[in-house]
Structures are given as structure tokens and as C-alpha cells.
Amino acid sequence: MPELPEVETVCRGLAARLEGRRLTRLELRRPNMRFPFPTGLSALVEGRRVETIRRRAKYILMTLDDGGVLIAHLGMSGRMTIGPAEGLVLEPHDHVVFETEDGTAVRFNDARRFGFLDYCRAEDLPRHKLFAELGPEPLGNEFSGPILAKKLAGKLTSIKAALLDQKIVAGLGNIYVSESLYWAQVSPMRLSATILAAEADTLVAAIRQVLLNAIAAGGSSLRDYVQATGELGYFQHQWAVYGKEGEPCPDCTCTQGIERIVQSNRSTFYCARRQH
């Protein structure tokens, strides 16, 4: 599933081509993806100018000039790619097509159809069921060591599970939690309640740096993810531990190398010697 850096990269690509432009057509090529499309969605969107495109957690938010907000989620395999509308050849899994007044087309392709579109008014967004309980953005000023430490206090789940909890911090997924815990030298098996204040500070710094590095590299491309331009992301070449079971630890001289365990049905990669 695309995580925060991938969604941020897509948002930036879309913003560069769509902000300030009017949407002339929204073609819904099936009645649903993960969920049915909102009733009358095309009529709500067509003719409206795109004011801003930004990210919240793993969601793309397209704010229109009348105060409406189009919400998109890429699901497991979704991609949004930009190209010229003229001569556009659609592929079998292009389920949604946007067109703008300057002849730009955006295709929302999703082979597995776990992605979706939703719509609400900007003033209702904080209370929307998708956003009402989300935690702070890890790259924002509202996320800090003391705030994280407070959220972890008394929690008896693993720190890996806690960081995947979108109520604690928004947008993190399996890849970037594994990478952040590695650079913070924190074992993924540690109980959340045992994380000390200084460790929370270190962990927040590691999370931010990993995310910023990933965004700079255009995200991580495993199977389906591409940038809005169609290019692959390159951060997978910078992973320290994720997907590297049995390989040497890049930052210590341990003999067993990177290990893999399963936590909550998800693979976790870590160095037992470096992370404690």
C-alpha cells in the first residue's frame, strides 16, 4: 500500500498540473471501486477550479473553488498518472478519468480496486469519518517527542504496532516504521510504555528524516506505485532493513544480519544487536 511519502509525491505531482485549473470532465467508468462513488459526483466536480491539492495521512485532498473537497485513496495498487487528454488510450483498470481546461488528463488506475473516491464540504472535513480520529502528521509541528511519549504512556502494545496506529501518528505504514525504528535503534518488540522521553525524541527525529529522504527519492516502488509522471520511486534502493532478511546490517558488525519477524500479520525487519 502506498504510504505517506508515496501519497505526498503523488500530491505534489498532481498539484503542479492541476492547481488553478478547471475540471471540465470527470468520467466514472464503473459505479464503484472499494465503495460506491458518491451520488452525483461528476456534477459536483465538473466546472470547478482546483484550489489546492494536499495530503492528510494517506489521503489525497483536492479542494475546489466552491468549498467542496474530493477525497482520494490509492488503496493497495492504485496510481494516478498525468498525460495529455488528446489521444488518450485507456487501460482496462483506468476506473476514473479527470480532464482539465488545458487538455490535461489524470487516470486513476487500480487493478485491485481497494482505492476509492469520496466527497465532502471543506467545513465538514475535520468531522468526516476518515479524519475525525487521525493522529498528528509526522512532518508537522504538532508531532514531537513529548507528544509521542504522552500517546505511548501506558500502552502495552509493541512500539511497531503503536506507530502503525493512525490515531497515534497519521500516515505511517510498514516500510517506514521498520526503517524509522532501525535508525532510532529501538527494537520493534519493545512495549510502547517503556519508551523513555529521550527515546521518543530520537524516534520522532528518525521518522521525520526517513520520510523526508523517501519523499526526496519519489517514494518506494515495489509493485504498482509510480509517481504522477509515471516514473518509479527510488527510495527502495536506500532501505536499511526492509525486505533485507539475512543481509548484513548496514550500520553494525553483527553476524546474524537483518532478521525478520511477523507482528500482527505483517513482516518486521530489524537488527537485533543494534535495536534494543
Average pLDDT, rounded, for the chain: 95
Determine which one of 2, 5, 138, 188 is catalytic: 2
160 is catalytic: no
- Residues 118 and 52: their CA atoms lie apart, in Å, by 16
3-state DSSP of 185-225: CCCCCCEHHHCCHHHHHHHHHHHHHHHHHHHHCCCCCCCCC
Q: State whether residue 255 is helix, strand or coil.
A: coil
pLDDT at 108: 97
Using the structure block, give the residue that is written with the C-alpha cell 481546461: 101
Determine which one of 55, 58, 151, 160 is catalytic: 58
Determine which one of 3, 6, 99, 259 is catalytic: 3
Tell me: the pLDDT tens digits for 219-265? Answer: 987 766 778 888 888 888 899 999 999 999 998 877 789 999 999 88
Tell me: the pLDDT tens digits for 50-79? Answer: 999 999 999 999 999 999 999 999 999 899
pLDDT at 254: 78
Q: Which of 142, 170, 169 is nearest to 58 (CA)?
A: 170
Query: Which DSSP symbol is given to 202?
Result: H
Determine which one of 12, 113, 155, 266 is catalytic: 266
pLDDT at 229: 85
How far from 142 is each of 1, 7, 103, 172, 179, CA to CA, in Å? 25, 20, 39, 15, 22
2 is catalytic: yes
pLDDT at 35: 97
Q: State whether residue 34 is helix, strand or coil.
A: coil
Q: Is the pLDDT of residue 182 over 80?
A: yes
pLDDT at 201: 98
Domains of the chain listed by start with CATH number? 4-127 (3.20.190.10), 145-270 (1.10.8.50)
Q: What is this structure's pTM? A: 0.94
pLDDT at 196: 96
pLDDT at 223: 66
3 is catalytic: yes
Phi, psi of 254 (to 5 degrees): -65, 150
Tell me: the pLDDT tens digits for 94-108? Answer: 999 999 999 999 999
C-alpha cell at 145: 517527542
Q: Is the pLDDT of residue 211 over 90?
A: yes
pLDDT band for position 2 (cuts 50, 70, 90)? confident
99 is catalytic: no
- Give the containing element (helix H, strand E) for 51: strand 50-56
